[in-house]
Amino acid sequence: MSYLKIEGLTKTYNGELKALDALSLNISKSERWSIIGASGSGKSTLLKLIAGMEVQNEGFVYLEGEKILNPKQKLVAGYDELQLVKQDNGLFPLSTVAENISRPLLQYDKEYASERLETLLQVFGLEDKRNSFPRELSGGQQQKVAIARALSLEPEVLLLDEPFSSLDSLQKRGLLDELNLIFKTLGITVIMVTHDIQDALLLTENLCVLSEGKLFRQGKVNEIYENPQTTYVAGFFGPLNSIPGQTNQYLRPSSIKNSTTKGKIKGKVLLKRYFPDYDLLTVEVSEETPPWQITRYERDVSEGATIYMSWEENKVLILDEK
C-alpha cells in the first residue's frame, strides 16, 4: 500500500478551466519529490488538495490508507499530519522567532511545547535568533522559521509551495544545503512545488512533471534527465541544441566538445558570456536551426571567431515535440 496515494484528482474552476485532470501519483514514506511544470499547470492546486485545503471535483487523497477530507467534508480544513508552507511565509511580524515557531503548539502540553521549540531552534540553527522579530532576519532565516513552524506538530508530510522564490541565489544555496541534511535526518516525506530545476536537484530525488493539469512524467530525477523523452521535459534541465539536418535530434551544451581546429561542424561565435568555470558561447551553426549554446573551459575564443564542434552519438537526445 502506498504511503501517500493520489487517485484521479480533478479540479475545475468556473466549470471550464481544468487545473488538474485525473492526476494519480503514489509516494512512499520519507521520499522527497519536486513538482515542476509551466505556469498554470496545476502545481500549487495539487499541493492544496493534498493538504485538504481545497475542494476537488473528482478523485481522492489517502495518507496511510486514510482518506483526506476536503473543506466541505471537514469542519476545520487541513491536517496536523500534512503541513503546507506557502510562498509567502506567513510569519507574524510582531511575534519573535520562538513565538512564531511555537504558535501551533499553544493547545499542547507546556512541557512538550517547550521541548519541541528547543529541538527545532537547535535543528535549524536559530538558537541565537529566538528573540528576534521577522524584520530582523534575512530572507533565508525567515524561510527556516516558517519551515520550523510547519514541523512543530511533527507532521508526516511537509508540502512546500515555491518556498525559495524570493531568495537570492546565495541565500538559497546555503538554505537548501541545510534543509537537505535536516530532512534526511528527520526522515520526513517532502513534496515541493518549484519552477527552478536547480532547487529540485538540490533538495529532492524524485520529479513529477505537470502539463496542463496532467501528470506528464514521474520518476527519479537522474532517470528523467537521462531519458526526458520530450522537448518539454528536457527543457527544464537547460538549453537544447537542435542538430542541423536531423529530425527531433538534440544535444545539451555539456555534451558538445569544441575546438578551434577541427570537428563535425563549424560555427561562428555570436556571443561570449563569462561564468566562473567556463565561457558560455552562443554559436551560429546553420540558417535552419536556432543558434547553439556551448560551454568552453579554455578562455581563448572571441566573438566573431570560428569554432568547431563534435559529439558522441550516445549523447544525442531523440525527443518528441511538446
- Same domain? For 293 and 176 the reply is no
Q: Report the 10 Å Cβ neighbour count for 222.
A: 11
Q: Is residue 146 part of a domain?
A: yes
Residues 227 and 247 in one domain: no
User: In whole numbers, what is the pLDDT of the chain averaged over residues?
Assistant: 93
- The answer, yes or no, to whether residue 167 has pLDDT greater than 70, is yes
Asked if residues 321 and 230 have their Cβ atoms less than 8 Å apart, the reply is yes
Q: How confident is the model at residue 14 (pLDDT cuts 50, 70, 90)?
A: confident
Nearest 5°: CA angle at 187, between 31 and 53? 65
Question: Quick one: pLDDT at residue 1?
Answer: 61
Please tell me whether residues 31 and 104 are part of one structural domain: yes
3-state secondary structure of 210: strand
Confidence of residue 169 (pLDDT cuts 50, 70, 90): confident
Residues 145 and 182 in one domain: yes
pLDDT tens-digit readout, 228-263: 999 999 999 999 999 999 999 999 999 999 999 999
pLDDT band at 152 (very low <50, low <70, confident <90, very high): very high
Q: Identify the CA nearest to 211 among candidates 15, 42, 33, 14.
A: 42
Question: How many domains does the chain fold into?
Answer: 2
Q: In what order do the strands lie in the sheet with 241-242?
A: 241-242, 249-251, 317-318
Q: What is the pLDDT of residue 171?
A: 74
Shortest CA distance to 40 belongs to which of 198, 210, 163? 210
What CATH number is associated with residue 299? Answer: 2.40.50.140
Assess if residue 284 is contained within a domain: yes
Does residue 266 sit in the same domain as residue 184?
no
Residue 227 predicted with pLDDT over 90 = yes
Are residue 75 and residue 142 in the same domain, yes or no? yes
* 187-216: pLDDT as tens digits: 999 999 998 899 999 999 999 999 999 999
In a domain, 257, yes or no: yes
For residue 113, tell me if it sits in a domain: yes
Looking at the structure, do residues 48 and 175 belong to the same domain, yes or no? yes
**For position 23, which CATH number holds?**
3.40.50.300
Residue 165 scores a pLDDT above 90: no
Q: What residue has cell string 561542424? A: 265
122 within some domain: yes
First vs last C-alpha separation in the chain: 33
- Sign of the alpha-carbon dihedral angle for 151, 191, 31, 55: positive
Residue 97 included in any domain: yes
Q: Clarify whether residues 178 and 248 are in a common domain.
A: no
Residues 120 and 225 in one domain: yes
CA 288 centroid distance within chain: 34
**Among 176, 26, 150, residue whose Cα is nearest residue 81:** 150
261-262-265-266 Cα dihedral, nearest 10 degrees: 10
Mean pLDDT for the stretch of residues 117-146: 94
Taking 70 as the threshold, does the pLDDT of residue 104 lie above it? yes
Place of cell 550516445: 314
pTM: 0.90
What digits encode the pLDDT tens for the residues 45-102?
Answer: 999 999 999 999 999 999 999 999 999 999 899 999 999 998 888 899 999 999 999 9
Q: Please tell me the distance from the alpha carbon of residue 103 to that of residue 152, in angstroms, as a whole number.
A: 9
Last residue of a domain, one of 174, 196, 231: 231
Among 179, 199, 231, identify where a domain stops.
Answer: 231
Q: Residue 157 in contact with residue 188, Cβ under 8 Å?
A: yes
* 169 and 197 in a common domain: yes
Residue 269 lies in domain: 241-318
Q: Give Cα 267 to chain centroid, integer Å.
A: 35
- End residue of a domain, out of 199, 231, 263: 231
Residue 253's nearest CA partner among 298, 315, 321 is: 315
Indicate if the pLDDT at residue 174 is higher than 90.
no
Residues 113 and 247 in one domain: no
275 in the same domain as 213: no
The answer to whether residue 236 is domain-embedded is no
Q: Please say if the pLDDT value at position 170 is more than 70.
A: yes
